Amino acid sequence: MKKLYLHSFRTSLGQVRTAATERGLAIVALPGESERSFEGRIKKHFAACELCRGGKINEAAKRQIIGYLEGKLRRFSLKLDIHATAFQKRVLRQVAGIPYGRTMTYGEIARAIGNPKAFRAVGSANASNILPLVIPCHRVVASNGLGGYGGGLHLKKRLLRMEGAL
């Protein structure tokens, strides 16, 4: 049976939870996300897994997330186990390539993946990102403002200010 390793740790933002398989980091829960919501994502994507504590990938994720939030890390180098549709994966790969301190609009991402009219679908794919911070969906903005963010606009603003993008 496949194993899913769970971990929880404190950051400058608050409590962060991670889940990883042997293949890579699979879920990041931002501060403010309820335990129930985190468990729901685990059940949705990893129902057949045995739940365990710890894991080497989670330890690496902890170090890198804390380093990022302390301003010491600008690019994550974690193995990822992404559970998404083919379209969502294309969007998330593009989002993962947005440099630290920069932003892209939903429309720019749609054009970059070769589907210029899919900006709403890009927004939906971005909203379904279960690896926030690591896949920096906070760097995706609307053409007329910030757009949304699963962790709340206050957190999106804080992250963009920290990176010097706002």
Q: Quote the pLDDT of residue 98.
A: 97
Residue range 3-17: mean pLDDT, rounded: 96
CATH for the 86-163 domain, from 1.10.10.10, 3.40.190.10, 2.40.50.140, 2.30.22.10: 1.10.10.10
Q: Quote the pLDDT of residue 3.
A: 95
CATH for the 3-69 domain, from 3.50.50.60, 3.30.160.70, 3.30.2350.10, 3.40.630.30: 3.30.160.70
Q: Quote the pLDDT of residue 166.
A: 85
pTM: 0.93
* pLDDT confidence bin for 136, thresholds 50/70/90: very high
| Weakest-pLDDT range from 81-95, 99-113, 140-154 | 140-154
List active site positions. Answer: 137
- DSSP string for residues in 30-89: -TT--HHHHHHHHHHHHTTSEEEE--HHHHHHHHHHHHHHTTS-SS----B-----HHHH
